[in-house]
Structure 1
Amino acid sequence: MANTIYFDEAGYTGNHLMDPDQRFFAYGSVVTSDEEAKEFVESLIRRYNIQNGELKGGKLVSHHKGRKAIDEILREFHGRLLVTVSDKKYTLACKLFEYIFEPSISDINSLFYGVGFHRFIANILYMEFMARGAGAEQIFDEFQDLMRRPDDGKLGALFSASKHPDNSPVITQIREFAQYRAADIKEEVESLAESSVGKWVLDVTNSSLHSLLAHWGTKYDVITAICDNSKPLQESGEFFKIMVGNEQRLKGGFAGNEHPMTFNLSGPLEFRDSKTCHGIQLADAVAGAAVHVLGGGTDDHAKRWRELLPEMSILNILPDKDELDLRLGTARRNVVLLNELHARAKNGQDLIEGMPLLIARLTHRLNLPPIPRPVG
């Protein structure tokens, strides 16, 4: 028998990850049944006099009674809820690595992922942006604009507006690398324009749902997934259809940091209106609580939820300043790799030739653990 799981989001802005009023995105999930969810939600609405007869996380966190209702949800469904959260600007920085750097190093990308070079670049960009470093915000704006409209001819002027006399050395290197390797980026971006994937390439709804389903798949043999109406999910439903009837349990990532990749769906994703689907309302409330916590909520409820969040969240996309700590050999190794890639791109040299040996020598010289091997 399939276990029914309901999903909904909070902080959704689609492909616009630079929205100043919605810094975080959360995707929540709750394991329950229609009957249990209906009874519980109607009880909350009645006892807390919730307006419009519907639980909406964004509204509940704004007043004391609503936060008490969320408290009850977290207690009642403890062990049956999961959420994944994303800092949108950091997510955009991760996407920038994926579409600016990776096309040029795709033949050995697992090596760069294994040493955390992607996290290093994403955290540098994020920290520069948050510190309002000259050119950082323009790079984010130009990249987001390019990815949202990959077919409008703006690639030729990539990052031209971000050139600034006060650019930090690292912003200069990243901007120039993109310009030197514009042909690789152009090929990648043009492939997006020709596919349905390109329309939602910056949206994190699909990846968030996949992460949650994969983790639930380690607990339940078969899952019935019920989601709130979502254009990104509805337009990419084919991706999830391959998991219908799938009994394989595969993992991905790197040795020591593996994560589940597959799950077994009882059928295609089901979409319902949150107004009439009480399970989706519960997932909405869980996601809203996570966004409230990450957004800096200071009320007593937020303080308690902040302690709960690590236990109930998985595969979050959040910055980590330790990736830039030059006291650590891993960060120093990645500084050298960025310098090397920039120099090769500037001189028109092959980016891959001899790179595995260079990384091995750096790893040995800095007395770092062996580079983990990819899993799956």
Structure 2
Amino acid sequence: MECYRIDESGYTGFDLFNPIQRFQGATAIALSNEDAEYLIRHFFPKLQAAELKYRSLVKRSSYRQPLLELIGTVLSQHKCVTYVCNKRYLLVLMFLDYAVEPFYYERGFDFYEDGQNYSLASLLYTVGPSLFGREEFEALLASFQHAVKVKSDNSVRALVEAANRLKWRELPEALGPLAYASPECLAAIATPGVTTDAAMVVLQSLISRTEIMSDGAYCIEHDESKNLRNYHSLLQRLIDHQNEIEFRQSDIASIKFPLKLTSVSQVDSKVSPAVQIADVMIGAAIEAANGLTGLRTALLDPEHVMSLYAEHQFIHMVPSIDFEEQKRLRQGTQASKVIDYFAKNFGGK
């Protein structure tokens, strides 16, 4: 049976405001441990470390070219997909999902039609700091994240107050519902199971691709790290879901249940060369994202790393103010149905 090895980077749970880790992502590779071991020996014949770790390897200048060659070989010879998201942009999207959309839903408007939510989130992410003041805008998002986590009356009240401290009438479509304390929005924020944890978003994107890449039943193996425990339980719930249903998310993404994925297992990465290579893949992708956005100086050329990927091998969630392209990509999307379905069937713990 075909097996995909997965590793993640940048996971900070519900905290999408983490200043150190601005991007989150994961890589899935259909790669056997035998093939992975051969690749490691071929590209790093003198490596003495117990396991391959991107952060350790990239610090040594002599290993940077072999790293690029390894990444290029994996992408050209094996099924592989990498997902990377800007966590603050994702937080803005979640803000619209729970602090805005319920207001429109109650009034018969499809807030998600043709990806309008992505366009508005991109606009809010891009102009929010200058339109409302950076500190004030970030305080709003931090209050939203806190209210979703705590779900107390005081935290929700503080969120409404944060919205009213802004010049929200400059963009009432996005902030008006919360400024007026829309009961529908406040109820959505307080709903058990609603969270800003991005693990399901990451997995949903990865699985949408592994399902397409796999001809039949397949399995997933991942590291035993603390961060991946939540991924593990979510994957198992996706596997256990046996309802027959299919959703279109964009012109390149869809998801259908039951999944072809049949099992998920955890393994010590030290004994799984394939998981170690997944670590290299996602480590390089996250570093490239930080480098391309000017957040950090990348040790591997970010543009070179990204040029190794074919279009179908890389999924990203980042803001874009090319609104026509956003509309084309998501025209006819079933986003509202997807969100409702996942909230009903996979919300909570």
The 3-state SS of whatever aligns with 2:110 is helix
Deviations 1:8-59 (A, max 9, x none): 1122222111111111112111111122223433554543x36x42222233
TM superposition score normalised by structure 2: 0.79
- Distance in 1 between residues matched to 2:272 and 2:9, nearest whole Å: 16
What residue in structure 1 maps to residue 347 of structure 2? none
- Distance in 1 between residues matched to 2:7 and 2:275, nearest whole Å: 6
Summarize the Cα distance change of 1:34–1:330 in structure 2 as closer, same or farther, 3 Å threshold: closer
Q: 1:372 aligns with which of 324, 332, 344?
A: 332
1:137-216 → structure 2 map (5 Å cutoff): 137-151=138-152, 153-164=154-165, 167=167, 169-171=169-171, 174-192=174-192, 197-198=193-194, 201-216=195-210
Summarize the Cα distance change of 1:161–1:224 in structure 2 as closer, same or farther, 3 Å threshold: same
Q: 1:266 aligns with which of 262, 267, 275?
A: 262
For the 8 Å contact 2:163–2:178, the answer to whether it is kept is: no
Deviation of the 1:314 alpha carbon: 4.0
For the 8 Å contact 1:67–1:301, the answer to whether it is kept is: no
What residue in structure 1 maps to residue 232 of structure 2? 234
How many residue pairs were aligned?
Answer: 319
- Distance in 2 between residues matched to 1:231 and 1:142, nearest whole Å: 27
Q: Residue 65 in 1 paired to residue 24 in 2?
A: no
For the 8 Å contact 2:93–2:118, the answer to whether it is kept is: yes
Deviations 1:90-113 (A, max 9, x none): 011111111112222336888321
For the 8 Å contact 1:252–1:374, the answer to whether it is kept is: yes
For the 8 Å contact 2:287–2:298, the answer to whether it is kept is: no
Q: Which runs of 5+ in 1 are unaligned?
A: 332-367
Which stretch of the first structure deviates more once superposed, 171-180 or 154-163?
171-180
Summarize the Cα distance change of 1:295–1:132 in structure 2 as closer, same or farther, 3 Å threshold: farther
Structure label with greater radius of gyration: 1
What residue in structure 1 maps to residue 90 of structure 2? 91
Deviation of the 1:239 alpha carbon: 2.3
For the 8 Å contact 1:252–1:259, the answer to whether it is kept is: yes
1:20-39 → structure 2 map (5 Å cutoff): 20-39=19-38
Deviations 1:214-264 (A, max 9, x none): 2121221111111223132234344222358x9x7834136xx25220330
Deviations 1:176-222 (A, max 9, x none): 42132442123223322xxxx44xx2222222223222212122111
The 3-state SS of whatever aligns with 2:308 is helix
Summarize the Cα distance change of 1:86–1:283 in structure 2 as closer, same or farther, 3 Å threshold: same
What residue in structure 1 maps to residue 287 of structure 2? 292
What residue in structure 2 maps to residue 223 of structure 1? 218
TM superposition score normalised by structure 1: 0.73
Matched residue type, 1:35:
E
The 3-state SS of whatever aligns with 1:284 is helix
Summarize the Cα distance change of 1:312–1:330 in structure 2 as closer, same or farther, 3 Å threshold: closer
Matched residue type, 1:73:
L
Percent identical among aligned pairs is 20
The 3-state SS of whatever aligns with 2:317 is coil
Deviation of the 1:151 alpha carbon: 4.0
Matched residue type, 1:4:
C
Which stretch of the first structure deviates more once superposed, 150-159 or 88-97?
150-159
Deviation of the 1:132 alpha carbon: 7.8
For the 8 Å contact 1:84–1:315, the answer to whether it is kept is: yes
Which stretch of the first structure deviates more once superposed, 143-152 or 107-116?
107-116
What residue in structure 2 maps to residue 15 of structure 1? 14
Matched residue type, 1:150:
K
What residue in structure 1 maps to residue 302 of structure 2? 302
The 3-state SS of whatever aligns with 2:145 is helix
Deviation of the 1:299 alpha carbon: 5.4
- Distance in 1 between residues matched to 2:109 and 2:168, nearest whole Å: 28
- Distance in 1 between residues matched to 2:254 and 2:147, nearest whole Å: 32
What residue in structure 2 maps to residue 338 of structure 1? none
Matched residue type, 1:234:
H
Deviations 1:138-194 (A, max 9, x none): 1111111112222474112224235447x36435664442132442123223322xx
Deviations 1:276-318 (A, max 9, x none): 3222111111111111111115556433112234635444211
For the 8 Å contact 1:25–1:88, the answer to whether it is kept is: yes
- Distance in 1 between residues matched to 2:44 and 2:312, nearest whole Å: 24
1:42-121 → structure 2 map (5 Å cutoff): 42-47=41-46, 49=47, 52-77=49-74, 78=76, 79-106=78-105, 111-121=110-120
The 3-state SS of whatever aligns with 1:202 is coil
For the 8 Å contact 1:290–1:309, the answer to whether it is kept is: no
